[in-house]
Structure 1
Amino acid sequence: MSTWFITGTSSGFGRLLTERLLARGDRVAATLRTPAALDDLREQHGDRLWVERLDVTDPAAVRTVVDRAFADLGTVDVVVNNAGYGVFASVEEASDEQVERVVATNLLGSIHVVRAALPHLRAQGGGRVLQVSTAGGQTTYPNFSYYHASKWGIEGFAQTLAAEVAPFGITVTIVEPGATPTGFGAGLDRAPVMPEYDRTPAGDVRRALADGAFPLPSDPGKLVQAMIDHVDSGSTALRLPLGPDTYEDVRAALLARLAEHEAQREVAYSVAATS
């Protein structure tokens, strides 16, 4: 039996992961903004499910809840940063509040959880951190600029973290799910549409999402099981791409970036200091 600490467990991947782990006999410290959403699981699984209210945008609350989880449960084997918030709008359409919230939740919130957990993970001699990102942590799509900003940021943070904490027996994996039917699209925050963007890539993506043409090729149950299997296998891979769209889109983005990078070799070397 292992113990997992998971943020954002009211729905989507967080809820599915909690259900799957409890069903196989693990313990779960589940955090969410509305604890009553897990009442049914508490009735089924008793004290193997530890539930606490948490808004990851509140650093003091994060420290308090993480400290309490480790104190109550003793050892936490896996910390899963899953809580997220998405804004679907062009750069110009989003409000200041939406921009700040997506960064506060997806980037700073994840950082707060990691910072709170690290002293405990070091003290117990190791553990794992799963940072839920997205294909959009390596590539981009119109109308998701602020979501991408938070996910590209958290991937840079997590990659640096992995190098820093490896000597303590702590491993970090960035999980990159693709488009999956979890209700995420329906839950996206939106902004008033500017007609100027109607005949642009932003408008095209907006229409595709509205008429159901935006593909959702992954099975959420299989995706969550892949996360569990990754931990069980002991793999220390830094990134775990999940979904055919993730694999293909990220591969194409990386190849394009490499080609652009190599094309600038001459100008890069041209600014070298001469001895």
Structure 2
Amino acid sequence: MTTQTWFITGVNSGFGRELAQQLLARGDRVAGTVRREGSVDDLRAEYGDRFWLGHLDITDLPKVREVVDAAFTDLGRIDVVVGNAGYGFFGAAEELTDDEVVHQITTNLLGSIQTARAALPHLRAQGGGRLIQISSVAGLAAHAGASLYHAGKWGIEGFMEALAQEVAPFGIGVTLVEPGGARTAFSRGSLRMGEPLTAYDGTPAALVRQFKKTAVPVIGDPVRIAARVIASAAQQPAPLRVVLGSDSYQAVTGALRQRLQQVEGQKDTAAETDATA
């Protein structure tokens, strides 16, 4: 197996950490980023020079480009760039403050866009590579109480799908990863909630509040999910989407069928607004 070099944002926990561990264990090189110093000292101690580390707050967009450039400069070729850093902030749209909205969108959308944009000149110069974006079932199926989280995930879906068409001529593949619920820190209580408004008590948006009160069962195995993400990098051509988890498959296919039904019946009325000759 040919050794590869991967760049991954957010390797301190969750999917990012699992990806880094599996890749390093199999002999690859990993360039990872973290916000908090000391959070991956064990990986640095065990893998030494094969683990390049950059300190990065993904909301610092100029710094994103600086860190990506440094990784390519220090390591030379990077085969796979993974946009992974992000978090969940749930609640009805008006339960989040303006600052919370901006931070959520900057982290989950703009940070991922900037990571890809920063990597593109390097990937073009080296003649190709792979961009992998960790999205979510929430990027294709929407639920009340998660409107701002969906905004970031749906946004990155559209960006990456269009980007795949833009960069295909340069030998750069693009993949969106659509995991369902997984047994990571995200599902064990690290997600954040807006300040609840009594106006939403008893409404569909209030259902997400249960995530903080009771343990919500999830079926996704982060070890298996990371292994599938790694395997997808070897697929040719690059799969545009990789759906992981039976819960994700059911939610995504159900949402897509419903969306198609909503528009198919409008074929004739849609044509009524066409200009006449």
- Cα distance between partner residues in 1 of 2:195 and 2:59: 25
1:243 maps to: 245
- Residue in structure 2 matching 1:263, options 262, 265, 268: 265
1:50, distance to aligned residue in structure 2 (A): 0.2
SS at structure 2 position matched to 1:143: coil
Aligned to 2:141: 139
Q: CA deviation at 1:85?
A: 2.2
| TM-score, normalised via structure 1 length | 0.97
Secondary structure of 1:232's counterpart equals coil
Indicate yes or no: 2:208 matched with 1:205.
yes
| In 1: Cα distance, 2:144 partner to 2:265 partner | 25
Q: How does 1:1-150 map to 2 (within 5 A)?
A: 1-150=3-152
Asked if the contact 1:35/1:51 (under 8 Å) is kept, the reply is: no
Aligned equivalents of 1:259 and 1:16: distance in 2?
Answer: 39
The CA deviation at 1:132 is: 0.7
The 5-angstrom pairing of residues 113-192 of structure 1 reads 113-185=115-187, 186-192=189-195
The answer on 1:196 being equivalent to 2:193 is no
For residue 209 of structure 1, report the CA deviation from its aligned partner: 5.4
Counterpart code for 1:189: R
Tell me, in whole angstroms, the C-alpha distance in 2 between the residues paired with 1:50 and 1:114. Answer: 19
SS at match of 1:273: coil
Shift of 1:108: 0.5
Deviation string 1:66-124 (CA, Å, 9 cap, x unpaired) is 11100110100000000002211111111111100111011110111111111100000
1:208 deviation in Å?
5.4
Cα distance in 1 between the residues matched to 2:192 and 2:51: 30
The code of the aligned residue for 1:239 comes to R
The structure-2 alpha-carbon separation of the partners of 1:30 and 1:208, relative to structure 1 and needing over 3 Å to count, comes to closer
* Aligned mates of 2:56, 2:62 — CA distance in 1: 10
Where structure 1 has 5 or more consecutive residues not aligned to the other structure, the ranges are none
Q: Which amino acid aligns with 1:111?
A: I
Does the residue aligned with 1:176 lie in a helix, a strand or coil?
strand
What SS class does the counterpart of residue 51 from structure 1 fall into? strand
Q: For the aligned residues, what is the CA RMSD?
A: 1.1
- Separation in structure 2 between the aligned mates of residue 63 and residue 117 of structure 1, nearest angstrom: 8
CA distance in 1, matches of 2:164, 2:207: 38
Q: Which amino acid aligns with 2:72?
A: F
User: Amino acid of the residue matched to residue 59 of structure 1?
Assistant: L
Residues 91 and 206 in structure 2, CA contact (< 8 A), matched pair in contact too:
no
Partner-residue secondary structure (3-state), 2:234: helix
Contact 1:35 1:52 in 2 (8 A): no
Q: Please list every run of at least 4 consecutive aligned residues from structure 1 whose deviation after the TM superposition is greater than 4 angstroms.
A: none
Q: Distance in 2 between the 1:175 and 1:266 partners?
A: 35
% identical aligned pairs = 51
C-alpha displacement of 1:232: 2.5
Length, aligned pairs only: 274
- Name whichever of 239-248 and 194-203 sits farther off: 194-203
Shift of 1:21: 0.4
Q: Please give the per-residue CA displacement for 1:196-252, whole angstroms capped at 9, x wherever unaligned.
A: 21211122332255222x331111110000101111333411001111111010000
Provide the C-alpha distance between the structure 2 equivalents of 1:203 and 1:115, rounded to a whole number of angstroms: 37
